[in-house]
Chain A
Amino acid sequence: SQTIHQWPATLVQPVGSPLSLECTVEGTSNPNLYWYRQAAGRGLQLLFYSVGIGQISSEVPQNLSASRPQDRQFILSSKKLLLSDSGFYLCAGKNRQLSNGYTFGSGTRLTVV
Chain B
Amino acid sequence: AQKVTQAQTEISVVEKEDVTLDCVYETRDTTYYLFWYKQPPSGELVFLIRRNSFDEQNEISGRYSWNFQKSTSSFNFTITASQVVDSAVYFCALRARFGNEKLTFGTGTRLTIIP
Contact = CB atoms under 8 A, between A and B. Distances in A.
Interface residues of A, number: 25
B108 to A, nearest CB: 5
A57 B101 CA distance: 12
B64 to A, nearest CB: 14
A107 B43 contact: yes
Given A32-B101, A44-B105, A57-B100, A105 B44 contact: yes
Contacts of B95: 101
Contact of A88 (B43, B47, B107): B43
Given A99-B50, A104-B44, A46 B103 contact: yes
A68 interface: no
B14 interface: no
Given A43-B107, A43-B108, A101-B35, A106 B42 contact: yes
Secondary structure dominating the interface of B:
loop
A33 to B, nearest CB: 11
Interface string B32-55: 010101000011110100100000
A72 interface: no
Contacts of A74: none
A107 B101 contact: no
B101 A94 contact: yes
Interface in B61-115: 91, 95, 100-108
Interface string A36-57: 1000001111100101000001
B44 A106 contact: yes
Interface of B: 6, 33, 35, 37, 42-45, 47, 50, 91, 95, 100-108
21 contacts: A36-B105, A43-B105, A43-B108, A44-B91, A44-B105, A45-B105, A46-B103, A46-B104, A49-B100, A51-B100, A57-B100, A99-B50, A100-B35, A100-B47, A101-B33, A101-B101, A104-B44, A104-B45, A106-B42, A106-B43, A107-B44
